[in-house]
Structure 1
Amino acid sequence: MSEQQNATLSRVADDEIDLRELFAAIWQGKWLIIAVTAIFAVASVFYALSLPNIYKSEALLAPAAEQKGAGLSGQLGGLAALAGVSLGSGAGVDKTALAIEVVKSRDFLSRFIQQRIQLQDLMAVKSWDLTTNSLKYDLDVYNPESQQWLREVKPPKQAQPSLQEAYKALSEILSVSQDKTTGMVKLSIEHQSPYIAQSWVQMLIADLNLEMKTRDIEEAEKSIAYLQQQISQTNIADLRTALYSLIEEQTKTLMLANVRDEYALKVIDSAIVPEEKARPARAVLVIVCTFLGGFIAIFAVILRHYFRQSRASV
Structure 2
Amino acid sequence: MSEMEDKAFNTKSAPFYYPAPRIIDSEIDLRAIFSVLWAGKWWIVLCMIFSVLAGGSYILFSHKIYESQVLVAPISDDQQMGMASVLNSQFGGLASLAGINLGKGNTDKTILALQVLQSRKFIGGFILRHHLMVPVMAINGWDKNSNEFSFKTSVYDPVKKQWLVKDGESQEPTLLEATQHFLKKIMVVKLDSDTGMVTVTVRFYSPYITERWATWLVADLNDEIRQQDMLEAQSRIAYLNNQLNQTSLADSRNMLYQLIEQQTKTLMLTKVSKEYVFKTVDPAVVDIDEIRPQKIVVMIASVILGLVLGMSFIFIRHQIRK
TM-score range, shorter chain: 0.7 to 0.9
Aligned to 1:60: 71
CA 1:89–1:31 in 2, change beyond 3 Å: closer, same or farther? closer
Aligned to 2:275: 262
CA distance in structure 2 between the aligned counterparts of 1:150 and 1:297, rounded to whole angstroms: 46
SS in 2 for 1:94: helix
CA 1:151–1:49 in 2, change beyond 3 Å: closer, same or farther? farther
Seq. identity, %: 37
The root-mean-square deviation of aligned C-alpha atoms, in Å, is 3.0
Aligned to 1:83: none
CA distance in structure 1 between the aligned counterparts of 2:105 and 2:125, rounded to whole angstroms: 31
SS in 1 for 2:112: helix
CA distance in structure 2 between the aligned counterparts of 1:200 and 1:138, rounded to whole angstroms: 21
Are 2:100 and 1:88 aligned?
Answer: no
- Normalising by the residue count of structure 2, what TM-score does the alignment of the two structures yield? 0.77
Aligned to 1:181: 194
Aligned to 1:273: 286
Are 2:52 and 1:36 aligned?
Answer: no
Aligned to 1:113: 127
Deviations 1:208-245 (A, max 9, x none): 11110111111111222222233333333333222222
Deviations 1:20-44 (A, max 9, x none): 4433443344343333222222111
- Cα pair 1:140 1:151 within 8 Å, conserved: no
SS in 2 for 1:160: coil
CA distance in structure 1 between the aligned counterparts of 2:123 and 2:100, rounded to whole angstroms: 36
Aligned to 1:239: 252
Unaligned runs of 5+ in 1: 74-85, 310-314
Paired residue total: 287
- Cα pair 2:141 2:151 within 8 Å, conserved: yes
Are 2:117 and 1:103 aligned?
Answer: yes
- Normalising by the residue count of structure 1, what TM-score does the alignment of the two structures yield? 0.79
Q: Once structures 1 and 2 are overlaid, which stretch shifts more, 47-56 or 297-306? A: 297-306
Aligned to 1:208: 221
Shift of 1:307: 6.3
1:143 to 157, 165, 171: 157
SS in 2 for 1:15: coil
- Cα pair 2:163 2:170 within 8 Å, conserved: no
SS in 1 for 2:287: coil
CA 1:225–1:196 in 2, change beyond 3 Å: closer, same or farther? same
Shift of 1:268: 1.8
